Structure 1
Amino acid sequence: MKKIVHITNDLQRLGGVQRLLVDLMTLQKDNFQFEVILTRGENEYVDELNQLGVSVYHKRDIGLRGVIKRMNAADLVHAHLFPSLYIALLTSTPVVNTEHNPHYRRRDILFVKTMESILYRKYAKIACISEGVQTDFLAHIKVDPSVTEVIHNGINLSRFPQIAKPYPENQAKFKLGMVGRFAAQKDFKTLIDLMALLDDSFELHIAGDGELRAEFEQYSKAIKVDHRIIFHGQVNDVPSFLDSLDVYIQSSFWEGFGIAVVEAMAAGVPCFATNVSGLNNVIDSPYLFEVGDAETLANKVQELKASPDLYQAASAYVVKQAIKFSISTSADKYTRIYNSCINTTQ
């Protein structure tokens, strides 16, 4: 059985990249043997990966030489995220790279942009998780476009009910929510500003942690909406969290794809999302709002709450939309790429 090594920064529970890797390996376990190398953070998927028989190695434990040794012993290396994607190029093994975001600020530096145009020629294949990611990547990095391929992220649909939610009648609170790390990519300010435009019948639930959490907790207090916002911190049971919501909102400055939105859709929760590349490849325009436009978002949310018919139509729509993004489709495409790259070098 051919060995694939995934090299990435960490395996945090609420990360889209991390969830993708675990789901891919689950579906591909009968075709390949897998190892994971982490270059920075922790493994929060210990139990699931132990069940799959996947060994996880930390760069801090085995050192750079150990990382290179493990990659050289594989048939293919699959790289994710900076700086792991650079480290992957130290191996003599064929490397596939996945581009997970539409733009990286490091590429605004001319030297880095030029260097990556050279380094990226060493990858056997470059997967882009959405059309927007592919377009932006090719605009910045000068490689042969035929080396790139769009492979949408997918989710394990079986983890979610895939049934339209009934209109929430006779509830004390209409619950809005979002899943995501408190990092620069996520526009939590607009989400909190939204609460200042809604009455006390609305409640906001945020699942996630991160370096900016305290800043936004303080902001919610400053604009006097903290009594209607629940910061849940790390949530391991995402399906249950989503099931508790009436509406899901993905408020982001940028996204490569938007796995969190697809999970909410598969849970049958009506969704709204920022109109940015990655998210607008997942959900249609009636459910999009512009970055920072809390007022338009408030109007959309209020309209949905006021109309059982609109609510039920939105819920039926998201369930139908989620089916397009099954992880099995993603796994089939990656399996084809793996086999093609391995066979080419033999």
Structure 2
Amino acid sequence: MKIIQVITLSEPIGGAQMVLFNNTEAMVNSGHEVQVMVGQEGTLTKRLEALNVKVTCIPSLKREISPINDFKCYKTICELLKQEAPDIVISHSSKAGILCRLACHKIGMPNIFTVHGWSFTPGVKGLKRYMYMAIEKVMGRFTDHLITVSAFDFNLASKHGIVPESRMRVIYNGSPDFLKEERKEAKEDPITLLMTARFSYQKDHMTLFKALQNLKDAPIQVDLVGHGDLHQEFVDLSKKMKIDHLITFHGESNDIPSFLNKSDIFVLTSRFEGLPLSICEAMSVGVPIVASDVGGVHEMVRDGYNGYLIPKENPDHLAEKLSNLIRDRKLIAELGKNSRKTFLETFSTHQMAASTEKYIEDILKKNSAK
């Protein structure tokens, strides 16, 4: 098959970029021809080019809304798709998803939009949520098929009538296996807590910081990996809250597996999510997950089995669960073992890619029968 994937941004690298990369790598290894269109060069394009994947940069593909620029981008996508004539087009991210679906509809080309968490999901602030919902209802008319990365998002789309359920499929995000060596139960202090997330409103580092105020004297080291608009604000805040002695700010990293393999507990305090790839990655190395119960997180984390679900914006509950784990190394090992099991059963790159390939085959087979 010839497949084109389209995404708005090449960096910063987030879940959507990594899902696209992981799927592309797996499909190329399966013998398919995959090309990628993206708005600009960056980390993603470098990784794709290392796979010998053809990458086309479309400078007019930008996140910001600009009617003139967006129309130019739409025309460019139409021309490129006619020229390349793929069997199917898969788009990721809001802007690329809108322009790509319109272009595919115009030229009669099969398309899939991958939903990495709806922009109208509960937790999105104010009127934006209702505006995004209205946009997606309109875009449903131009959408052949949807991949939702969680049953939560599938049900949300069904509830609001985005597209019929027959044109959607749940395909969980998947991660490569990052485990370097089997974990040992005992470990010297301190216990290492890891959170890999950009510093943004969505990821809600404030809840973690407030919880850490209750754990000031605990034998822990907190590694925060990621950048973002609020990064410096939280560096300053850690000093003001007198928890900076616990925290190391690492910024962006191209070596997440090293941080994961050195960690004991993975934390993710989000206000809203789709299905976080960072949790897939953490489960692969066999650590307990302590995460906000938002979006599809409850489909990954079973409370008391491979970690704990925390009500969003609840630092006291978070501190309590972290404290329980910090005091009990055997519990860390037990929950971590179950995380690893969950990953192998459901959330590997192989399973994600195989499910995506099967969905494409089903779509093309159905179309050829018409």
With the length of structure 2 as denominator, give the TM-score of the two structures.
0.85
1:318 paired to 2:331? no
CA distance in 1, matches of 2:274, 2:182: 26
2:26 aligned with 1:20: no
Aligned: 1:99 with 2:115 = yes
Q: How far apart are the structure 2 equivalents of 1:257 and 1:67?
A: 28
CA-CA distance at 1:61 after TM superposition: 7.0
With over 3 angstroms needed to count, the CA separation of the structure-2 counterparts of 1:188 and 1:261, relative to structure 1, is same
8 A Cα contact 1:20 1:154, kept in partner? yes
Q: Which amino acid aligns with 1:133?
A: D
- The answer for the alignment partner of 1:70 in structure 2 is 80
> Contact 1:195/1:202 (CA < 8 Å) preserved in 2?
no
1:335 paired to 2:319? no
State the SS of the aligned residue for 1:226: coil
Q: Tell me if structure 2 keeps the 8 A contact 1:155–1:326.
A: yes
* Contact kept? 1:14, 1:179, Cα under 8 Å: no
- Is 2:119–2:129's contact at 8 Å kept on the other side of the alignment? no
Unaligned runs of 5+ in 1: none
- 1:4-32 Cα deviation digits (max 9, x unpaired): 11111123364111111111111111342
1:119 aligns with 2:136: no
Separation (CA, whole Å) in 2 of partners of 1:48 and 1:114: 35
**Offset, 1:123:** 2.0
Q: 1:305 to 1:119 in 2, by over 3 A?
A: closer
TM-aligned CA deviation for residue 124 of structure 1: 2.0
In structure 1, give the amino acid aligned to 2:77.
V
Q: How far apart, in 1, do the equivalents of 2:130 and 2:328 lie? A: 49
Tell me if structure 1 keeps the 8 A contact 2:5–2:36.
yes
Task: Give the secondary structure class of the aligned counterpart of 1:83.
Answer: helix
Residue matched to 1:85: 97
- The DSSP-based 3-state class of the residue aligned with 2:138 is helix
- Taking a change above 3 Å as real, the CA distance of residues 9 and 162 of structure 1, as seen in their structure-2 partners, is farther
1:138 alignment partner in structure 2:
158
Secondary structure in 2 matching 1:309: helix
2:212 to 195, 205, 226: 195
Aligned letter for 1:195? L
Change (3 A) 1:258 1:46: same
Aligned pair partner of 2:320 in 287, 291, 299: 299
The aligned counterpart of 2:182 is: 163
Deviation, 1:163, is 3.5
Deviations 1:90-138 (A, max 9, x none): 132211111111443576336x534532321322211110011111122
Q: Aligned pair 1:10/2:13, yes or no?
A: no
Q: CA deviation at 1:261?
A: 1.1
* Cα distance between partner residues in 2 of 1:55 and 1:149: 27
Query: SS at the partner of 2:11?
Result: coil
The aligned amino acid for 2:214 is L
- Please tell me whether the aligned partners of residues 7 and 79 of structure 1 are also in contact (alpha carbons under 8 angstroms): yes
Instruction: Map 1:279-298; keep pairs closer than 5 Å.
Output: 279-286=297-304, 287-298=308-319
Report the equivalent of 1:235: 253
1:51 shift after superposition: 3.1
Runs (5+) with no aligned partner, structure 2? 62-71
Is the contact made by 2:264 and 2:332 (CA closer than 8 Å) also made in structure 1? no
Q: Contact 1:154/1:325 (CA < 8 Å) preserved in 2?
A: yes
Equivalent position amino acid for 1:168 in 2: K
How far, CA to CA, are the matches of 1:150 and 1:107 in structure 2?
A: 25
CA distance in 1, matches of 2:251, 2:272: 22
1:35 matched residue in structure 2: 35
Aligned-residue offset at 1:46: 4.0
| Contact residue 152 and residue 325 of structure 1 kept, 8 A | yes
Worse-matched range after superposition: 259-268 or 332-341: 332-341
Change (3 A) 1:199 1:222: closer
- 1:304 aligns to what SS in structure 2? helix
Which is bigger in relative contact order (C-alpha 8 A, separation at least 6)?
A: 1
Query: Partners of 1:261 and 1:163 in 2: how far apart?
Result: 19
What's the Cα RMSD here?
A: 2.2
Distance (Å, rounded) in 2 between the aligned partners of 1:121 and 1:307: 53
Amino acid at match of 1:35: Q
Q: Alpha-carbon deviations, 1:152-178, whole Å to 9, x = none?
A: 111122x32473442322x3x222110
Answer yes or no: is the 8 Å Cα contact 1:164–1:319 preserved in 2.
no
Which residue of structure 2 aligns with residue 276 of structure 1?
A: 294
